[in-house]
Chains A and B, each alone.
Chain A
């Protein structure tokens, strides 16, 4: 946030920027605003899946990326610079982040071993101790199946069958009693710092601040990290003058330099290919940020991207099953 609005405000005197930290319920709020016919938000930061839903429901504005966004410094049009990350016509990608695992480095019971494979999460024998996983099916189901011998490419096909779902739950069953289920991104870092859990999933940027900024005895396990995207959408139905102002801001905030700058604060990969070479050092710690990026080749040996389409269909059904399974 420091990377965008402060320099922009410096350029536009008298403009007040109000931050509303409501991205978590953005879809519901935008739908309510749309029903009430009064859009009070100008620009919304959401994850890719939410952007697609908003676009589907006609709550977000479709844009022409090449027209709205600045080209790369070498003249490459925006749509090529962002490439595949433009997952929806409404979505303006900002960053690539990942959901990955952190573990404590001082667990005596592990006998000097450290987890380096996603299946170690489900291995209570060699890696005893409490885990933390997110309280929703997305991500967990895929990991469970991958550790049940399913090929990464077939995960979603298997998950479509009753048998596949049963298999995934059977794997989750093995650790259910020693798992804390988190709902907020800050939970796992806190639990790891307290020693309450020894291994837990969360967003990679959170783990970065825990490890580098707060200096806790925690390390990252990058195996099978799940990439996700975060970016802007512009609400549908803004009046002309506000729209013009927002477009001006978005053009500025998503240019190559600005996206590279945000990586000086937290280890999230910039959405533009042209920003990557510009990623420098942390603003305060002075360490190189590149090796902490989820997209760094050393970290990205085995990764996967959510199948957004699949989850759009199966989210309701899978969530009902997951919650029923949880509250047994």
Chain B
């Protein structure tokens, strides 16, 4: 790099205070940056908390599925070994399910998994609810009795803490150790009792039996060795049969398959449902035809938003033109008329449309009175797409007029006059000179109206009827009624994606720099 010679001092240039100039400059710049950041910090925080985080949370929720794995960890682990998925799995899976459900029921979490899985397979909800009560009454007490008959010490909490404090024993009896820990946790956290004063639950002895009968015990603990020798002669029960007694649906391979398919922590399931597909045992398949709805709704939302946008342009353009070209006094009054609906509640405006449009409503009455329509063939103007389009066009019209108006105001009238003086007709002057200059306003109005329309919810809900509802109505339903928040998040994410794609296309065609709000 640099050659060190005797008379030029080595090292970087120094500032007045003796520090390297570069560092000192950096410091000054950093301070400036921090000050600038502090200045916008409130805004940044506000946007982060109210906008970015919720969107991130929504995206996360649309794939998140930890509930199955968290609530049924043993079941899911045991299912790794399940080979023939056409038949119900073996004893190990059900043994895991038994303890998982017991624990979940104590913490009252089993019904949450039940409702989660019920979205995928009807009937699971009540199976889980029923099992929450049922697993406590399984016949596993025979193990408790046999162990305590063998040696009364097994009923003592102290015996257990002694055994479970020994890491070699824990390693030799993995299921038992886990079950014992679970029991202690249930007693302390869910029941708020002291484990030393409670009877040890049957499932702990059940696990002990499984450990001892499965791999035996070769350690030096006398109590355990005696138990290991004795278990061969114990009476045993099949936990799988216990589940079958509870409800034979538990042995339905389809049910277990559903649990298995939805066991990963993250699932594409919600997104698939949102596009009328489903994740099932045979991979990804289409939903049955009588349950397909979301693709239709997305298509309808887009189509109707486009129609609403189009009718806003058609109606808004002349008004904006008048606003920009009439004398000040008249245009001010017109402006107030445009803004007036803005100050009225959305609900009131929508309800007013109901009164106007219904079959016994004002518009039909007038048409019948004039004689255009027969009394028994009144027009169906509401509770269908027409109703939604009319009401929403009215509600969103100001969002088209205002940008159009502010753009039109900047168009110098001299251009049109010049065109006319050069021999253009009124129409040519408008079409060739005025209109091209107003296009940025149309662009801005269109994008405003379209994006507002695509997410509209209250108006379609009230006047949409069967065929005039939007995808947002389904999102609202899943948020507030069915509580399928994952699906709602997936639908919302898709909607967000569609808007972003459309925005990109729009940018490509119109160019976002050509859009002006004034």
Q: Assess the B292–A324 pair: CB atoms within 8 A.
A: yes
Q: Assess the B360–A194 pair: CB atoms within 8 A.
A: yes
B412 to chain A, nearest CB (A): 50
The proximity string for A residues 171-186 relative to B, scoring 1 for CB distances below 8 Å and 0 otherwise, is 0000010001101000
The proximity string for A residues 301-328 relative to B, scoring 1 for CB distances below 8 Å and 0 otherwise, is 0000000010011111101110111110
The proximity string for A residues 15-30 relative to B, scoring 1 for CB distances below 8 Å and 0 otherwise, is 0000000001101100
Q: What B residues does A130 contact at CB under 8 A? A: 359
The proximity string for B residues 101-136 relative to A, scoring 1 for CB distances below 8 Å and 0 otherwise, is 000000111011011001100111110010000000
Q: Which listed residue, B111, B290, B481, touches A324 by the CB 8 Å rule?
A: B290
A31 sits at the interface (CB 8 A): yes
At the interface, is chain A mostly helix, strand, loop or mixed?
A: helix
How large, as a class, is the contact surface on chain A? Answer: 20 to 34
Q: Assess the B129–A316 pair: CB atoms within 8 A.
A: no
The proximity string for B residues 414-453 relative to A, scoring 1 for CB distances below 8 Å and 0 otherwise, is 0000000000000000000000000000000000000000
A317 vs B296: C-alpha distance when bound (angstroms) = 18
Q: Assess the B360–A312 pair: CB atoms within 8 A.
A: no
A77 sits at the interface (CB 8 A): no
Q: Assess the B291–A195 pair: CB atoms within 8 A.
A: no
Q: Which listed residue, A31, A196, A319, A326, touches B360 by the CB 8 Å rule?
A: A196
Q: Assess the A315–B290 pair: CB atoms within 8 A.
A: no
Q: Assess the B122–A183 pair: CB atoms within 8 A.
A: no
Q: Assess the B109–A58 pair: CB atoms within 8 A.
A: yes
A57 sits at the interface (CB 8 A): yes
A303 vs B290: C-alpha distance when bound (angstroms) = 30
The proximity string for A residues 87-109 relative to B, scoring 1 for CB distances below 8 Å and 0 otherwise, is 00000000000000000000000
A296 sits at the interface (CB 8 A): no
Q: Assess the A317–B467 pair: CB atoms within 8 A.
A: no
A191 vs B361: C-alpha distance when bound (angstroms) = 11
A116 sits at the interface (CB 8 A): no
A198 to chain B, nearest CB (A): 11
A195 vs B359: C-alpha distance when bound (angstroms) = 9
Once A25-B480, A130-B359, A196-B359 are accepted as A-B contacts, the answer to whether A316 and B291 lie under 8 Å apart by CB is no
Q: What A residues does B114 contact at CB under 8 A? A: 56
Q: Assess the B290–A31 pair: CB atoms within 8 A.
A: no
Q: Assess the A327–B466 pair: CB atoms within 8 A.
A: yes
B33 to chain A, nearest CB (A): 34
Q: Assess the A316–B293 pair: CB atoms within 8 A.
A: no
Going nearest first, the 8 A-B pairs with the smallest beta carbon separation are: A56-B111, A58-B108, A324-B293, A317-B122, A25-B480, A28-B480, A320-B291, A195-B360
A315 vs B114: C-alpha distance when bound (angstroms) = 13
Q: Which listed residue, A27, A196, A321, A327, touches B358 by the CB 8 Å rule?
A: A196
Once A181-B466, A317-B122 are accepted as A-B contacts, the answer to whether A327 and B297 lie under 8 Å apart by CB is yes
Within 8 A of A (CB), among B302-359: 355, 358-359
Q: What B residues does A315 contact at CB under 8 A? A: 482
Q: Which listed residue, A183, A314, A316, touches B482 by the CB 8 Å rule?
A: A316
A324 vs B122: C-alpha distance when bound (angstroms) = 17
Q: Which listed residue, A309, A316, A325, A327, touches B467 by the CB 8 Å rule?
A: A327
A304 to chain B, nearest CB (A): 20
B383 sits at the interface (CB 8 A): yes
A181 vs B293: C-alpha distance when bound (angstroms) = 18
Q: Which of A56, A58, A319, A325 has the most CB of B within 10 A?
A: A56
Q: Assess the B469–A327 pair: CB atoms within 8 A.
A: yes
Q: Assess the A57–B111 pair: CB atoms within 8 A.
A: yes
Once A57-B115, A181-B465, A183-B461 are accepted as A-B contacts, the answer to whether A24 and B480 lie under 8 Å apart by CB is yes
Q: What A residues does B474 contact at CB under 8 A? A: 323
B484 sits at the interface (CB 8 A): yes
Once A56-B115, A313-B118 are accepted as A-B contacts, the answer to whether A325 and B465 lie under 8 Å apart by CB is no
Q: Assess the B125–A313 pair: CB atoms within 8 A.
A: yes
Q: What A residues does B107 contact at CB under 8 A? A: 58
B479 sits at the interface (CB 8 A): yes
A326 vs B465: C-alpha distance when bound (angstroms) = 9
29 sample A-B contacts, Cβ–Cβ < 8 Å, listed by A number:
A27-B480, A28-B479, A28-B480, A53-B115, A53-B483, A56-B111, A56-B112, A56-B115, A57-B112, A58-B108, A58-B112, A130-B359, A180-B383, A181-B465, A181-B466, A194-B358, A194-B361, A195-B360, A196-B361, A312-B126, A313-B118, A315-B482, A316-B118, A316-B119, A319-B477, A319-B482, A321-B290, A324-B293, A327-B466
